[in-house]
Amino acid sequence: METVRERFTLTFGARCHKTAIREPPLETKAPPMSIAPEHPPASKAKPLAPGRPLEIEAASNVYLVHPAARALATYLSRTAVTPNQVSIASVFASGCAAASYVAAPWPWNAFAGLALQFVWHVLDGADGDLARRTGRASPRGELIDGVCDHVSQGLIYIAFAIMAQRTVGGWAWAVAFAAAGSHFVQANAYETGRKAYRRFVYGAPWMRQTGAGEGELGGLLAHFYLAVSVVLSPGEAEVESAFGQSVDGSERPAHLYRDAFAPIVKTSGILASNTRTLAAFIAVLVARPVWFFIFELTVLNAALFALAVWRARANGRFAARIESSL
């Protein structure tokens, strides 16, 4: 009779990736819910973590971006292409989108840029899928993926600053710089919120548990990234502590966290790159590139503030609820 380990090994090769599908893919390890090493895992039978839980995914990802990324990762898993190479290719795709926005004639520049940004979205999803599928996921790869994402978006901001300068002059660069800074903070809030959700609901570690990069530069960037995430999610340390104290073999805290935070994480999708891609397309299509920056600085910053307040209150209520039940 084949063992559970043998069945898992046979299943792993065909299904292990991070896209959201009807039968979520699995990770190879489920760490303890607490960072503290003295605590054992909450349950040895705890379900392993799907890469992208369906309950927090946007429809555009579930039905469009993720299937394309999954198909690309399936093909690349049979080649010598590495996840880091896919991440670098995503930067090239974003650069092509930026060039199209600036150089192609209107209105075709809007459609060409949109198509190439879609390619970027697919590559951005495929690198992680490929890493998980081939067993090459690592803190260093996570950091490289994040850096490539921000470089890719930076190229788009440069392109829009060049276009906006034609109508508003040199002020376009100041506005672009402010919008890019806002983008970094917004993306940090979105990404770390999702990673915290996967940690507390499914036991999946991320940079905060697995390590903050390798080498002086990588470590510095990772520590800065994590420091920003702490500011944007006050009270998460108390949630971590509450989980650590509740390790008793019960999955109740994880279920309670899912009920409380799934709506927050899903709503935070407004801060995701999908929103900016659509905003960029519309701004170019109506020949008002500066509107892209204004949207970032007003609508998305307002959403960031509202989500940060919502999450802080939810963290406080959740920690208090778990601690009161101990």
Burial of 291 (0-12, 13-18, 19+ CB in 10 A): middle
Q: Among residues 150, 58, 160, which one has the least CA distance to residue 109? A: 160
- Which residues neighbour 160 within 8 Å (Cβ) at sequence distance 6 or greater? 101, 176, 280, 283, 289, 290, 292, 293
Q: What is the largest CA-CA distance in the chain?
A: 73
The tokens 């440069």 sit on which residue? 158
286: its two tokens: 């109506």
- pLDDT single digits (tens) 115-137: 999 999 999 999 988 988 888 87
Share of the chain above pLDDT 70, in %: 78
- State the average pLDDT for the chain: 81
10: its two tokens: 């046979």
Q: Among residues 18, 47, 10, 46, which one has the least CA distance to residue 141? A: 18
Of 194-203, 242-251, 267-276, least confident by mean pLDDT is: 242-251
167: its two tokens: 């109508």
Tell me the CATH number for domain 54-324: 1.20.120.1760
> Average of pLDDT values for 85-103?
96
The tokens 């660069």 sit on which residue? 173
Q: Among residues 163, 124, 164, which one has the least CA distance to residue 147? A: 124
> Average of pLDDT values for 53-72?
92
The tokens 């891609």 sit on which residue? 277
Which helix or strand (DSSP H or E) is residue 256 part of?
helix 252-267
Crossing angle between the packed helical segments 301-324 and 252-267, to the nearest 10 degrees:
170
159: its two tokens: 């392109």
- Which residues neighbour 291 within 8 Å (Cβ) at sequence distance 6 or greater? 279, 282, 283
Q: Among residues 130, 143, 119, which one has the least CA distance to residue 83? A: 130
> Average of pLDDT values for 107-111?
97
Domain ranges of the chain: 54-324
- pLDDT single digits (tens) 12-32: 333 333 333 334 444 444 333
Residue 277 amino acid letter: T
> Average of pLDDT values for 71-84?
94
> SS3 string of 275-294?
HHHHHHHHHHHCCCCHHHHH
> Average of pLDDT values for 104-113?
96
pLDDT computed for residue 222 by the predictor:
74
> Is pLDDT of 11 > 60?
no
> Average of pLDDT values for 60-86?
93
pLDDT band at 260 (very low <50, low <70, confident <90, very high): very high
Q: Among residues 222, 22, 15, 29, which one has the least CA distance to residue 129? A: 15
pLDDT computed for residue 9 by the predictor:
39
- pLDDT single digits (tens) 300-314: 999 999 999 999 999
Share of the chain above pLDDT 90, in %: 53
